Amino acid sequence: MAKARVKAPKKAKAGDIVTIKTLITHKMESGRRKDKKTGKLVPRHIIDKFTAKFNGETFFSADWHGSVSANPYMSFSYKAEKSGEFEFIWHDEKGEETVKKSKMTVA
Amino acid sequence: MTKIKVEVLDRRQFMLAASATTAALMAGISSANATAEMAAEYIKKLTGGASMMEGKVKIDLPEIAENGNTVPVKVSVDSPMTADNYVKTLHLVSEGNPGPEMASFHFTPASGRANAAARMRLAKTQNVVGIAEMSDGKIYTAKTLVKVTIGGCGG
């Protein structure tokens, strides 16, 4: 569906609080914008849910509404305890999902 | 002499009364703004009408946003983020967009910190309200004013 980019550390020390940055290409049509040629409203189509998991457990999630900008950026933190894999899921209103994974080794 | 004095006082009193009326009228106009009311209603729905305390929440927005299509916003809530004392959710509510709902961030103790950053659309100069729901049921709030040069909600 959409192209996603994630910046998450590959290595961390136990107890470190790491910052994760994510970006996805998506128009985030709010349903309030008019098509310049036809003058009709462009139908609403947004990503409404973002979920961040580590080893299968959700540690951060976000509900997005029409006020979120196009190509949504999201940054948040995670407290590293043990090695494993991040999983990021963007869910859009049409039910499509984009998933991105990233491994982290915790020493 | 006395006669003139009385006249002067009268005029002053009149001016005072007139400016008070103008102020009252202006206050009436701004509180009738539908979106601020919509925001208050939406907050009531989010919190179930529970009482809120000022503080703990920080919303970082540029003082002046030149392009309302993409305004960086950083939020943080003061919390130890331990298993029995953490921030559950932070809602962002707009007082000037076509709809009051912006985004809700759900944290867990594994988040480490109740911090998040994103980019928002802002239709016009307005207050952005943050509502933090804590694990013990307490609710904290804060608002930040942001001036928007070019609105970003289509049209």
pLDDT digits (tens, 9 = 90+) for B94-104: 999 999 999 99
Residues 6 or more apart from B53 whose CB is under 8 A from it?
B138, B139, B140, B141
**Closest to A10 in 3D by CA, of A83, A90, A100:** A83
> Residue B38 and residue A66: Cα distance in Å, rounded?
15
Type of residue at B132: A
Nearest to A73 among B81, B94, B119 (CB): B119
Quick one: how far is CA B6 from the chain centroid?
Answer: 46
| A70-105 pLDDT tens trace | 999 999 999 999 999 999 999 999 999 999 999 999
| B16-72 pLDDT tens trace | 555 555 554 444 444 334 588 899 999 999 999 899 999 999 999 999 999 999 999
Q: Torsions phi, psi of B127, nearest 5?
A: -90, 140
Q: Which fold has domain A4-29+44-106?
A: Immunoglobulin-like (2.60.40)
pLDDT of residue B18: 55
Tell me the domain boundaries of chain A. Answer: 4-29+44-106
Q: What is the mean pLDDT of residues B117-122?
A: 96
pLDDT of residue A32: 85
Assess whether pLDDT exceeds 90 at residue B7. Answer: no
Residue B124 has which token pair?
Answer: 């016009």
**Complex ipTM > 0.85:** yes
Pairing of strands A57-64, A47-54: antiparallel
Across-strand partners of B58? Answer: B76
B83 touches B132 (CB < 8 A): no
Q: Which residues of B touch A17 (CB under 8 A)?
A: 112-113
Residue A7 has which token pair?
Answer: 């910046």
Average pLDDT, chain A: 95
A41 touches A31 (CB < 8 A): yes
> Residue B71 and residue A74: Cα distance in Å, rounded?
13
Residues 25-44 of B with CB under 8 A from A: none
Percent of chain A at pLDDT exceeding 70:
99
pLDDT of residue A67: 94
Interchain pair B154, A68: CB under 8 A: no
Query: From A23, which residue of chain B is nearest by alpha-carbon distance?
Result: B118
